[in-house]
């Protein structure tokens, strides 16, 4: 399908709309250090896009069954709050341009994230863009997180479109797998290095949301 044929857009949040992942990695590494553990940059990158329960599983698998995950969550949450209160959360390139275009052309759109709703709304507030998204689907709105299809299928339902008419925009392998499982076409705008697996799942690969905005404008002219 041409870009002009899609009737709605579904956005991931972390790493795509907001540059949150760097702040998560900093907070996780600080918490682990205080607890006497070490999280490498590479390990943190491999956690990109995972849901909270999967984060717990991966950390316990990495450090052992006695890893104090509750303490880790408390400490990393405190470190994250301190970091974003001081530094804020950066909005990714092209977000305002693309949302403005979608609003002007009355193309419906939705945010669909593995984050729980309270965390997602908090991130949007720290970034100052909470008013841009009227429709949000979060981890606690569905039975299964990405890479299952649930979040994207729920988003399509809210958008009142078949999932095949929705263009999913993602930055992670987890998100691309979820789009594939949902039967949706996807655009990859990577926040990290693109693996062969990511390349194989993505319908298109673009540099940022500004490039996608320009491509949509061109396709609709």
Rounded Cα distance, 127 and 20, in Å: 10
pLDDT band at 193 (very low <50, low <70, confident <90, very high): confident
Going by their DSSP bridges, the two strands 185-188 and 204-205 should be labelled as parallel
CA atoms within 13 A on the CB side of 166: 30
* CA 212 and chain centroid, separation: 16
CATH number of 3-19+89-220: 3.40.50.1000
What are the tens digits of pLDDT across the range 22-48? 888 999 999 999 999 999 998 988 887
- Tell me the percentage of the chain whose pLDDT exceeds 90: 82
Rounded Cα distance, 37 and 39, in Å: 7
Residue-level pLDDT at 50: 74
What are the tens digits of pLDDT across the range 97-134? 999 999 999 999 999 999 999 999 999 999 999 999 99
Q: What pairs with residue 170 in β-bridges?
A: 188
Rounded Cα distance, 96 and 101, in Å: 8
Going by their DSSP bridges, the two strands 8-11 and 109-112 should be labelled as parallel
Which DSSP symbol is given to 90?
P
Residue-level pLDDT at 32: 94
Q: E strand or H helix at 169, and its extent?
A: strand 166-170
Residue-level pLDDT at 53: 78
Residue-level pLDDT at 47: 80
Nearest partner of 9 among 169, 172, 214, judged by Cα: 169
> Listing from the earlier edge strand, what are the strands of the sheet with 204-205?
136-137, 109-112, 8-11, 166-170, 185-188, 204-205
Which DSSP symbol is given to 168?
E
If 0-12 CB within 10 Å is exposed, 13-18 middle and 19+ buried, where does residue 60 land? middle
Residue 155 in contact with residue 112, Cβ under 8 Å? yes
Residue-level pLDDT at 191: 83
Residue-level pLDDT at 45: 82
Rounded Cα distance, 60 and 67, in Å: 6
Domain boundaries along the sequence of the chain? 3-19+89-220, 21-87
pLDDT band at 63 (very low <50, low <70, confident <90, very high): very high
Residue-level pLDDT at 181: 97
């Amino acid at each position: 399908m041409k870009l002009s044929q899609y009737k709605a857009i579904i956005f991931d949040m972390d790493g795509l709309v907001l540059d949150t992942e760097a702040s998560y990695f900093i907070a996780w590494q600080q918490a682990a250090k205080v607890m006497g553990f070490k999280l490498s940059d590479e390990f943190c990158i491999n956690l990109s896009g995972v849901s909270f329960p999967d984060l717990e599983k991966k950390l316990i698998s990495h450090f052992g069954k006695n890893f104090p995950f509750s303490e880790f969550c408390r400490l990393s949450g405190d470190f994250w709050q301190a970091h974003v209160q001081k530094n804020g959360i950066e909005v990714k390139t092209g977000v305002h341009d693309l949302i403005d275009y979608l609003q002007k052309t009355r193309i419906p759109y939705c945010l669909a994230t593995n984050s729980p709703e309270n965390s997602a709304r908090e991130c949007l507030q720290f970034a100052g863009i909470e008013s841009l998204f009227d429709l949000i689907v979060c981890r606690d709105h569905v039975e299964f997180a990405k890479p299952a299809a649930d979040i994207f299928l729920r988003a399509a339902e809210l958008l009142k479109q078949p999932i095949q008419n929705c263009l999913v925009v993602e930055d992670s392998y987890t998100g691309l797998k979820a789009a594939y499982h949902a039967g949706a076409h996807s655009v990859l705008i990577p926040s990290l290095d693109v693996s062969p697996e990511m390349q194989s799942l993505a319908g298109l690969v673009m540099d940022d949301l500004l490039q996608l905005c320009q491509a949509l404008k061109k396709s609709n002219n």
